[in-house]
């Protein structure tokens, strides 16, 4: 553990909060199985219900519509695969955007193998789903549309509301799923205003623990993807991760959705980098950004080399999404945006948390400039 690290990889994961850790410890005493009929079980069930209320309130929804999962990946799989299979009689078209997280893209590819008519909607150069293109793909036979709220590589906010009204009009049998893993706790979300039917969220992106998430379902008509139990109405069987769930609620309660503060941090980092390093390019829309992510291409370097060089300075950033960083491939998000290969090679993702300070940003920017100069010298 590096003591003086400047952690700027909050889109990959966040540091668990004090409140989350305290809440997690509650299971040492309240260790009952929420499905048990005795008092210990009932107390555990009650704790889960309270956590549901806290989390559902953050979405402007009902606690009864919230189903806990093992994280955002499972929530996305349950939403896309479960909703498509349950609605197959109504049609076979499934539409997902080209910049979705792999847990949506690969779920869609699984449906393709099952014979569904899967379409990938393109994005603009600014990293937003092309609304005309996606509208052209929506047919009355469409059963699932999945468009994320905030992209994990660029921080770009997607036009979900506009897509939602197009889906309602042109595909009455379809559900709209929205992966809100990168927006929950960062942007204010109201499920009705957003217009989504299904929403995925994950605890470890908001200072909770890894391995717990949830799918909010306005309409619970989804086929389970895990079998063998009656928990959560049999839609998501398996004994609930109570400690993780309590910590998730504690972390959610502490989120302030302070978009202006995040945007300030992002703008400061962009300005510092522009002042210190020549030949850089910010990727993704500036106007539609959550502020939590800055994706920047530094020309003439390899992002991976910079990332490792920065470890010497105690600065932690990322090359793209953490999930794909073990098998280096050009980012599918930047590729879909039409970013040139040279810029993709030098693209880094810097992501902030509420705790990131101005001082940390300035120090990190200086370290990035120093290491970039070094790398450029020999590349």
Ligand X SMILES: Cc1ncc(COP(=O)(O)O)c(C=O)c1O
Please report which helix (H) or strand (E) contains residue 317, including its range: none
Q: What burial letters (b/e) apply to 256-279, b meaning 16+ CB within 10 Å?
A: ebebeebbebbebbbebbeebbee
- Measured between alpha carbons, how far is 292 from 152 in angstroms, rounded to an integer? 9
Nearer to ligand X, 158 or 232 (CB): 158
Position with the least CB separation from ligand X: 72
Residue closer to ligand X (CB basis): 325 or 372: 325
Distance of closest approach, residue 144 Cβ to ligand X, in angstroms: 16
* Adjacent-strand bridge partners of 199: 178, 216
Separation CA 147–CA 129 (nearest Å): 8
Check: CB of residue 247 under 8 Å from CB of residue 20.
Answer: yes
Q: How far apart are alpha carbons 190 and 206 in whole angstroms?
A: 17
- Report, in Å, the least distance between residue 47 CB and ligand X: 21
For residue 31, the SS3 value is: coil
Cβ proximity to ligand X, 210 vs 376, nearer residue = 210
Footprint of ligand X (CB under 6 A): 71-73, 76, 101, 103, 148, 152, 179, 181-182, 202, 204, 213, 321-323
Q: Please, which residue, 182 or 297, has the CB nearer to ligand X?
A: 182
Of the pair 214, 361, the CB lying nearest ligand X is at 214
CB of 124: closest distance to ligand X in angstroms?
19
Q: Where are the beta strands (DSSP E) in the chain?
A: 6-7, 66-69, 93-97, 117-121, 142-146, 175-179, 198-202, 213-217, 280-282, 293-298, 315-316, 347-351
Considering beta carbons, is residue 213 or 224 the nearer one to ligand X?
Answer: 213
CA distances from 26 to 23, 104, 226, 246, 254 (A): 5, 33, 27, 8, 18
**Cα angle 198, 204, 205; round to 5:** 70
Q: Tell me how far, at minimum, the Cβ of 119 lies from ligand X, in Å.
A: 20
Q: What phi, psi does 315 have (nearest 5°)? A: -105, 125
* Contacting residues for 344 by C-beta, under 8 A, at least 6 apart: 297, 330, 331, 334, 335
Task: Write down the least CB distance from residue 191 to ligand X, Å.
Answer: 17
Distance of CA 47 to the CA centre of its chain: 26
Q: Is 328 left (phi over 0), alpha (psi -120 to 50) or beta?
A: beta
d(CA 291, CA 294): 7
- Would you say 267 or 322 has its CB closer to ligand X? 322
Q: Is 255 a catalytic residue?
A: no
User: How far, in whole angstroms, is CA 72 from its chain's centroid?
Assistant: 7
Catalytic residue selected from 178, 180, 255, 323:
323
Closest CB 265 distance from ligand X, rounded Å: 19
Minimal distance in Å, beta carbon 353 to ligand X? 14
Enzyme catalytic residues: 323
């Amino acid at each position: 553990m590096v003591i003086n690290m400047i952690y700027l990889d909050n889109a990959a994961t966040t540091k668990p909060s004090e409140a989350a850790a305290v809440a997690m410890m509650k299971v040492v005493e309240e260790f009952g199985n929420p499905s048990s009929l005795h008092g210990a079980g009932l107390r555990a069930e009650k704790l889960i219900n309270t956590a549901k209320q806290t989390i559902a309130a953050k979405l402007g929804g009902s606690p009864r519509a919230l189903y806990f999962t093992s994280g955002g990946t499972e929530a996305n799989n349950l939403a896309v695969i479960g909703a498509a299979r349950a609605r197959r009689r109504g049609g076979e078209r499934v539409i997902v955007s080209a910049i979705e997280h792999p847990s949506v893209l690969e779920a869609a590819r699984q449906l393709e193998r099952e014979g569904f008519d899967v379409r990938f909607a393109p994005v603009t150069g600014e990293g937003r789903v092309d609304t005309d293109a996606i509208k052209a793909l929506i047919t009355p036979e469409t059963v699932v549309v999945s468009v994320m709220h905030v992209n994990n590589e660029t921080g770009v906010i997607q036009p979900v509301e506009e897509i939602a009204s197009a889906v309602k009009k042109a595909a009455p049998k379809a559900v709209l799923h929205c992966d809100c893993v990168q927006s929950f706790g960062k942007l204010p979300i109201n499920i009705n205003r957003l217009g989504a039917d299904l929403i995925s969220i994950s605890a470890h992106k908001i200072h909770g623990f890894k391995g717990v998430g949830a799918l909010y379902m306005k309409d619970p008509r989804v086929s389970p993807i895990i079998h063998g139990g009656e928990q959560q109405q049999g839609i998501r069987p398996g004994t609930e991760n109570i400690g993780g769930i309590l910590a998730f609620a504690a972390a959610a309660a502490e989120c302030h959705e302070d978009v202006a503060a995040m945007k300030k941090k992002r703008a400061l980092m962009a300005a510092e980098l522009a002042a210190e390093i020549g030949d850089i390019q910010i990727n993704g829309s500036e106007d539609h950004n959550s502020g939590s992510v800055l994706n920047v291409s530094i020309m003439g370097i390899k992002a991976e080399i910079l990332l490792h060089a920065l470890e010497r300075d105690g600065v932690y950033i990322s090359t793209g999404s953490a999930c794909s960083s073990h098998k280096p491939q050009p980012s599918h998000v930047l590729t879909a945006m039409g970013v040139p290969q040279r810029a993709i090679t030098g693209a880094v993702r810097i992501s902030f948390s509420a705790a990131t300070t101005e001082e940390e940003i300035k120090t990190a920017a200086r370290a990035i400039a120093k290491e970039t100069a070094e790398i450029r010298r020999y590349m």
